[in-house]
Amino acid sequence: MKNALLLLVIAFLLFLAIFFYWRQSQAESQLAMANEKITSLEQQVRRFTHNVPAEPVAPTQSEQPELTTTPDTEEKVTPPESTSFEEEIGTLSEKDLQRLKQKGLKNPEADLMNDLMRKQKSLLTTQGSVGGTMAIQDVRILNDRHALAYFEDGHNGGYLLLRYAVNNGAITWTRLDTSTL
């Protein structure tokens, strides 16, 4: 009886580990898609505001630099600093912090999160179901202009992609996209 109970507990813990790993992978892929959407929206806004022709998504074959290697010398390609973004998601860089402090925020991350929590009712358009009220549960400040928020009512949830601007300590929020789960 003790062995069966022990096996049951181990199986349950293994199931939980697999489940949480799967949810983490799912969240990482959703964040990657949100990052791509941010880039796309920024390009659209840039084209609209500056009447700039559309930028190519990927360089053409003739534009890509050719890497020539010889047995004696092999060129090393170093990845750009932005590739470490996934590890640092939800934290502001030192440059972002400095820019936000110059714009009037004393403690940028806390000030942004507190302001968003105060203004969440005006930003959330999804209605709660079964008597629930939609509320923001988690916020990730992505950089000095964008934030990603997870909201739910206990039954349904989703993600909210936001752009914010800071002017003399005053924060204004703009909803860019909403995705429900």
Digit-coded pLDDT (tens) for 133-167: 889 998 999 888 999 999 998 888 899 999 999 99
β partners of residue 162: 147, 175
Q: What pLDDT, in 10s, does the model give residues 40-93?
A: 887 777 776 665 454 454 444 444 444 444 455 555 555 555 444 444 556 788
- Cα 77 to Cα 58, 65, 82, 113: the distances in Å are 18, 11, 14, 38
Mean pLDDT of the chain: 80
- Cα 74 to Cα 55, 62, 68, 77: the distances in Å are 32, 22, 8, 10
